[in-house]
Amino acid sequence: MKLLVTGGAGYVGSVCAAHLLDAGHEVVVLDDLSTGHRDAVPDGATFVEGELGATAGEVLGTGGFDGVLHFAARSLVGESVEHPEKYWAGNVVASFRLLEAVRENAVPRLVFSSTAATYGEPEQVPIPETAPTRPTNPYGASKLAIDHMLTSYANAHGLAATSLRYFNVAGAHVGGTRRLGERHAVETHLIPIVLQVAAGTRDSVSIYGDDWPTPDGSCVRDYIHVDDLADAHLLALEKAVPGRHAVFNLGSGQGFSVREVVEACRAVTGHPIPAVVAPRRAGDPAVLVASSAEATARLGWTPSRTDLHRIVADAWEFAGDR
Ligand code: UDP
């Protein structure tokens, strides 16, 4: 298939682009490099530098596209609270323009990078796709708005649409000759932060709260290997049905606490990694774990890289190469 990958210079987008190329697809990456990296675009992909809303029409207008994988987004929860306008413009408005270009050019399918943040504070864990969607920040709300757009475009215009709601994406694509992983100018995610401490570029990691209602008092999350996530995108492309919008949660189905993650990083790296307890971070739910039963049943997807040490080891290998 000939595919447009928006945000293909970013973490998840670049890894998915690599998997798509390996599966024999033709890949065009569109990215404005605001947070992505030119050298993360895998060899073999055509690269177009441009802002999504302004450029998607031009790119899709060149014709022959069989699908879009839409990763380009702003994705910092804290920033979304302080500057919601950036999320309505960068996520919602730009995605609307992309969808219009998809419609005008009769592109049949689209896979969207959605998020567990669309659910907000869960009532039930593991979280199924039928859980209420009550995002607690503009980032989650902007992603949910795009999910709603996709439902309407599937119903009205026959688009085969799939939203994949990621839980905590982690690890790196380090198989073969490529090295693709998480590289943010401002790092907020737990595993890369802990590995920065191991590498000596940060003094200690803060554990945001040790009085949560969890077994060891720190927050529990569901860490999914980025290569497992990429596998789900390829299956979603294959299984998409015209006129339907499918939504799938993607996680490993197991929860690890912040303390367990720090321990795993100590074991993998052999570094002591000082950790200090800090106040809770605003907006953090205590426990987020996915039920991916639907993805298994309907996409035939089963994550295979679920061992936390493996996830951390791949991220560490990537960090060591930088
Ligand atoms: N966390 C932490 N210290 C950090 C960064 C994150 O204790 O320096 C915790 C955070 O409160 C959450 C978990 O680690 O419970 C995962 O946070 P991350 O930002 O990686 O992902 P999120 O779950 O917010 O999407």
pLDDT tens string 53-103: 999 999 999 999 999 999 999 999 889 999 999 999 999 999 999 999 999
Q: pLDDT tier at 322 (50, 70, 90 boundaries)?
A: low
CA neighbor of 3 nearest in space, from 17, 98, 222: 17
pLDDT value of residue 321 = 66
- Token representation of residue 94: 């730009």
Residue 185 has what pLDDT?
Answer: 82
User: Which pLDDT tens digit goes with each residue over 102-112?
Assistant: 999 999 999 99
Please state the pTM of the whole predicted model: 0.97
Whether the Cβ atoms of residue 189 and residue 260 lie closer than 8 Å to each other: no
In this prediction, residue 47 carries a pLDDT of: 98
CA of 120 to the centre of ligand 1 (A): 15
Looking at this protein, which amino acid is placed at residue 225? H
Task: Write down the pLDDT at residue 284.
Answer: 85
Q: Is beta strand 220-221 parallel, antiparallel or unpaired with respect to 256-257?
A: antiparallel
Alpha helices by DSSP H, the chain: 11-22, 52-61, 77-82, 84-87, 94-104, 138-157, 190-199, 226-239, 258-269, 293-294, 308-321
- Whether pLDDT at 202 is above 70: yes
Token digits of residue 90: 């960068």
pLDDT of 243-269, one tens digit each?
A: 999 999 999 999 999 999 999 999 999
Q: Whose CA is nearest to atom 18 of ligand 1?
A: 189
Which sign does the torsion angle of CA 35, 37, 43, 45 carry?
positive
Structure-token pair, residue 202: 């940060």
- 27: β partners: 3
Confidence band for 26, pLDDT divided at 50, 70 and 90: very high
In the residue annotation, 139 being an active-site residue is answered as: yes
Query: What is the three-class DSSP state of 34?
Result: coil
Ligand 1: list residues with CB < 6 Å: 168, 188-190, 193, 205-208, 219, 221, 258, 281, 284
| Per-residue pLDDT, 60 | 98
Q: For residue 15, give the H/E element and its range.
A: helix 11-22
8 A C-beta contact, residue 215 and residue 257: yes
- Atom of ligand 1 at shortest range from CA of 208: 7
* Tally: H helices and E strands in the chain: 11, 14
Average the pLDDT over 195-220 and give the result: 97
Rounded distance, CA 160 to CA 194, Å?
39
What is the residue with the minimal CA distance to atom 19 of ligand 1?
Answer: 189
The residue whose C-alpha atom lies closest to atom 25 belonging to ligand 1 is 168
Instruction: Write out the two tokens for 45.
Output: 């992909």
Which ligand 1 atom is at minimum distance from the Cα of 188? 19
Q: What is the DSSP letter of 93?
A: I
What amino acid occupies position 194?
V
Confidence bin at 176 (pLDDT 50/70/90): confident
**Hey, CA dihedral for 42, 48, 49, 52, is it positive or negative?**
negative
Residue 250's beta-bridge partner residues?
A: 166
Both tokens assigned to 251: 């996680």
CA of 190 to the centre of ligand 1 (A): 5
Question: How far, in Å, from the CA of 193 to the mean position of ligand 1?
Answer: 9
- Alpha-carbon torsion 314, 7, 176, 227, what sign? positive
Can you tell me the distance from the alpha carbon of 272 to that of 268, in angstroms, rounded to the nearest whole number?
Answer: 11
Selected residue with higher pLDDT from 134 and 177:
134
Model confidence pLDDT, tens digit, residues 123-157: 999 999 999 999 999 999 999 999 999 999 999 99
Say what the alpha-carbon torsion angle 40, 227, 71, 319 is, to the nearest 10 degrees. -40
- What is the rounded average pLDDT of the residues 7-21? 98
pLDDT at 282 (0 to 100) = 82
